[in-house]
């Protein structure tokens, strides 16, 4: 039992401040405990100067998730592998965001938000790349039936996005507003998830990693099948054969969207940790809020660029 009644009976609390202090101590103690091996391996203190370490950790997270997802519930593997990846990565995300909030509050010299939180952003990017690499390896090497089952929902998502791009060229301004509005909704979800669950935005990031990996893996697998057919290896060509879904068409704007969600997730996480750790009347709280606001502005600007590319650039390149 986490809170013994004798010590933490809510009815004994005289003020909201007392209750907040209890919650604050619980979060701090939980984050500092190294009860899991993976949490110890991905401590933000260890990866501050070596963010590439998180690439390896992210690769292992996603690789294990793919095999467990197909082992536990095959019918829902395409969603379960994302959930399992998220479950493994959330401790690291929360501890890293908490650490970045402490750095932001202690730093007396005001610098740009992105520069100040560059170590955390770099760690998240490498974690994302690790997810993508693991999913790509699985997509390229696993049997066709396992691939179709593991990445079914992701494939449908890419096909819907690509068809939307083609259909929107006749009314570009309407399409631009629609796409931007949809992307802003996802951005808002990132902020809300991070605010309510500390590092909840990792779900959005892991989902995008699986979608990007599906596009990349599909491209590689299609080319491997083509090369095998040219080399007169029909059995190898048949193993890798799969319907192409269009890699570059998706990635031209998808990379910018994912970057924006990364930044928004970090901003939401900073707000969440600041709400738990600090009083709203302290200078540290206002400092963290300023950083979060700057990060959100940057994320929105990147989303506007992504929508512009999706409506005007992508159709011109892949007409």
Tell me the whole-structure pTM to 2 decimals: 0.71
Question: In angstroms, rounded to a whole number, what is the distance separating the alpha carbons of residues 315 and 305?
Answer: 15
Residue from 179, 122, 163 nearest 249 by CA: 163
DSSP class of residue 62 equals: H
Cα dihedral value 110, 111, 114, 116, nearest 10: -70
Note the pLDDT of residue 311: 82
Question: In angstroms, rounded to a whole number, what is the distance separating the alpha carbons of residues 23 and 7?
Answer: 13
Residue from 253, 247, 228 nearest 238 by CA: 228
SS3 271: helix
Q: Return the exposure string of 1-37: e unless at least 16 CB atoms fall within 10 Å of the residue's CB, then b.
A: eeeeeeeeeeeeeeeeeeebeeeeeebeeebeeeeee
Question: In angstroms, rounded to a whole number, what is the distance separating the alpha carbons of residues 137 and 163?
Answer: 26
Question: In angstroms, rounded to a whole number, what is the distance separating the alpha carbons of residues 8 and 159?
Answer: 53
pLDDT tens-digit map of 115-164: 666 666 677 788 888 999 999 999 999 998 999 999 998 888 877 766 65
Q: What are the structural domain ranges in the chain? A: 48-317
Tens place of pLDDT per residue across the chain (319 aa): 343 434 444 444 444 444 445 544 544 554 455 444 555 555 555 655 666 788 888 899 999 999 999 988 888 899 999 999 988 888 777 677 666 656 655 665 555 555 666 666 677 788 888 999 999 999 999 998 999 999 998 888 877 766 655 554 556 787 788 888 888 888 888 777 777 765 566 787 888 889 888 988 888 888 888 888 888 777 777 777 666 556 667 777 878 888 888 788 778 777 776 776 667 777 777 887 888 888 899 999 999 998 888 888 877 776 5
Question: In angstroms, rounded to a whole number, what is the distance separating the alpha carbons of residues 181 and 191?
Answer: 15
Note the pLDDT of residue 251: 73
- Distance linking the first and last C-alpha atoms of the chain: 61
Question: In angstroms, rounded to a whole number, what is the distance separating the alpha carbons of residues 272 and 289?
Answer: 10
Phi/psi for 295 (5° steps) reads: -65, -40
SS3 4: coil
SS (H, E, C) 114-181: HHHCHHHHHHHHHHHHHHHHHHHHHHHHCCHHHHHHHCHHHHHHHHHHHHHHHHHHHHHHHHHHHHHH
Question: In angstroms, rounded to a whole number, what is the distance separating the alpha carbons of residues 291 and 104?
Answer: 8
């Amino acid at each position: 039992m986490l809170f013994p009644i004798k010590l933490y009976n809510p009815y004994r609390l005289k003020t909201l401040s007392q209750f907040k202090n209890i919650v604050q101590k619980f979060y701090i103690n939980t984050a500092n405990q190294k009860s899991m091996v993976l949490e110890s391996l991905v401590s933000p203190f260890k990866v501050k100067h070596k963010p590439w370490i998180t690439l390896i950790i992210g690769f292992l997270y996603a690789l294990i998730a793919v095999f467990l997802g197909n082992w536990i519930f095959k019918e829902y593997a395409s969603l379960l592998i994302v959930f399992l990846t998220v479950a493994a990565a959330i401790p690291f995300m929360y501890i890293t965001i908490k650490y970045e909030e402490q750095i932001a509050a202690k730093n007396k010299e005001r610098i740009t938000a992105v520069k100040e939180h560059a170590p955390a952003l770099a760690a998240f990017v490498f974690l994302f790349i690790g997810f993508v690499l693991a999913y790509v390896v699985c997509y390229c090497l696993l049997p066709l039936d396992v691939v179709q089952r593991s990445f079914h929902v992701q494939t449908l998502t890419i096909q819907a996005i690509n068809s939307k791009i083609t259909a929107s060229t006749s009314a570009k301004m309407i399409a631009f507003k629609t796409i931007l509005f949809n992307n802003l909704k996802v951005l808002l979800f990132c902020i809300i998830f991070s605010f309510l669950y500390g590092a909840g935005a990792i779900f959005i990031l892991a989902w995008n990693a699986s979608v990007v990996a599906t596009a990349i893996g599909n491209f590689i697998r299609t080319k491997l099948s083509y090369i095998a057919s040219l080399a007169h290896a029909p059995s190898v060509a048949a193993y890798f054969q799969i319907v192409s879904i269009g890699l570059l068409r998706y990635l031209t704007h998808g990379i910018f969207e994912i970057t924006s969600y990364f930044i928004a997730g970090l901003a939401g996480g900073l707000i969440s940790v600041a709400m738990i750790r600090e009083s709203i009347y302290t200078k540290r709280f206002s400092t963290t809020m300023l950083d979060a606001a700057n990060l959100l502005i940057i994320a929105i600007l990147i989303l506007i660029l992504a929508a512009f590319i999706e409506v005007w650039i992508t159709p011109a390149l892949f007409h």
